[in-house]
Structure 1
Amino acid sequence: MIEIDGRRLNARLQAFAAIGGTRKGGVNRQALTEEDRRARRLLAELAWARGFSVFQDPMANLFIRRAGQDETLPPMLIGSHLDSQPAGGRFDGALGTLSAFEVLESLEDAGIETERPVVVVAWTNEEGCRFAPGCMGSMAFAAGEIPAEWQQKLATDGAAFAGELKATIESLPRAQMLPLGFPIHAYLEVHIEQGPSLEAGGISIGVVTGIQGTRWLNVEITGQTAHAGTTGLAYRRDPLRALTTALSGLYEMIMPSDPDARFTIGRISVEPGSVNAIPDKACCTVDIRHPDPARLDELERSIASGITTEAERQRCTVAISRSFDMPPCTFAADLQQVVERAAAERGLESMNMLSGAFHDALFVNRVAPSALIFVPCLDGLSHNEAEHVEPEHIIAGCQVLAQATLLLVSTADS
């Protein structure tokens, strides 16, 4: 058994929440900003103060290493991210990163020697709100390279990705540089559920079995702009009417008929956007999610068919393209069992669950066995300044992470 310091962990969460803190109690610490760099510097300084080694890679992923008895063994990797949404909460990402660092400190406090090294990671740009896509750091780590097209990306505030990445790396000159990607034994991540299931069930720990697949579509319907007052119904080629009629049908069909499906329209725009003109063009984004890849294919076909049919009825043309395609993933069954055992050893009830959101663990799972541990958040609310996790759940998640980590590093062949 290993005991973590709950007071220290909660104090750390408060200290990091002050970096980019908002008036409503949330956090604005977007990826590769000065606030993000300040959080990275604080974590690195805490690590150096405890005698741990600090590294970063070309993607600015930050690694804190505690040596093992056999330094030739691939390390156990634990962590999450420090970046936030523009009006985000103080627990999304930071909880997992600081819980992982607390595990490292607790091992050191107890003088526990592990067969293999234990490494804490703070992944770069998990949120994807300032630079898209999200999970850039873990994605590049798993691929072993930074996609060339990322170098040309601009932030929502106009900043160049290449320049912001360079400035972030240079903000920690004392950290040693590592190549992108290295062998790891396994990966564990603690995260808030961002949903209501654990809280509703009164359960402390979610053992995540997998992450559902996600596809993003861009829809563009083109009609003909015309005068709002003089153009009768028979002469209209209204793309917005086509779009909204089609979406109404899809809303009624997709999620009501399939509890595992998710269908979301995040953006709608029209051109020319005049109050007294029929639009020439109507566009929207579509986010669809499902744990079954075959069902994702079916959903995409249904969406394309429904929108195309209605567009043709309104004498409009339609173009639909994918902008993001992430297959579902299943986490390693043996690691799930380790997390369940760790929760039981700490006297905590756990339940298996699927994640509706994607996390860094999804991409690390492509190169090493990975597991994701969920803890409840108040009302399931996340990506919101009111995001809240009770101290007892913060401590429970960290205890399970610590116990599971100890189980996985206790022997060289574990």
Structure 2
Amino acid sequence: MDKNQEFDLLATAASGLEALVGKELRDLGIDCQVENGRARFKGTMETIAKANLWLRTADRVKIVVGEFDAYSFDELFEKVKALPWEDFLPLDANFPVAGRSIKSKLYSVPDCQAITKKAIVNRLREFYHRPATVPLAETGALFQLEVALLKDHVVVTLDTTGPSLFKRGYRLEKGGAPLKENMAAALVMLTNWRKDRPFVDPVCGSGTICIEAALIGHNIAPGFNREFACEAWDWFSEEVFETVRADAEEQADYDYPLDITGTDINGKMIEIAQANAEEIGLGDSITFKQQAVKDFKTEKEYGVIVANPPYGERLGEEESVRKLYGEMGQVFRPLKTWSKYILTSDLTFEEYYGEKATKKRKLYNGALRTDLFQYWGQRPPKNKGME
């Protein structure tokens, strides 16, 4: 396949993060349209490589192989079979088909998957002149497909990413209720933090929010430490990823001095956080220390606090968690020049923190509805340098 061929592409995202993904794509110079759960864009192999390497808040980058309406299984079969599968799938391709169906006449997901698979097999058999009696080997590279139906509109996609983009490759260990890396990056990007200001996570757990902040501060591509499914495809140019990775390496600013601190009451979690930061080469960019929230003090100004405290979802935890929220209020409220961003599913958080948020933003942490409570600090005077 020509490396300059243009594809219709999707970057999928958790509910509430689509606009951030759209902004990231535009910052990469990629024009896009944001929809529920995804951003749509067009591009070449280079665009696919760049999106996989650089998107901090997305889940996956997918090629749209076909899109149409279908009201019967016969129609689904014929329209899937009409797509140019031989352009994407070699004879030995391993191509499982995942499925989703919402508010569609074809509501049986297993049937939609089976019919899609059968249609592709028929097309490949005809193209590669294989008899119907001999099954396709499927011993080669993975081509993960999905047939997704929404109100009878079908989108058939091929996943270029492999394991989700949140799997950056640096988490050696994690805590009891870990935040996914792309969600942690989103929390940092939703703040007013700049790399020349202090950044603190006072309940840092395994260090994910601090590590994502350091990646942003050093302008390091979040996918630099991993590989992607499309790199194993015989038609995808190796040279493209080599070029995009080399460009990303040039853009990284490893030497910029960052002021990022992660604290946690649990010493074991601090050890894990330090190990995770060292795994990705950011051990010197972040200071991790064991400390309870109530003992936090700082003389610094115009910093940003981002916290993902326990939510009190488990039985018997509610009281201790709400006590923690109260301690956060006592310690953080006096820091007038600091902005604070706290994520929790406890919608009564403000009551225990002791102050109404400047703004709230609804986000989903996995399937769990949460709110990001935002308390904006005073801005530094324009004629005054950073302290």
Task: Place the TM-score, normalised by the shorter chain, in its bin.
Answer: under 0.3
With a CA cutoff of 8 Å and minimum separation of 6, indicate the structure with the bigger relative contact order.
1
TM-score normalised to structure 2 length:
0.23
TM-score normalised to structure 1 length:
0.22
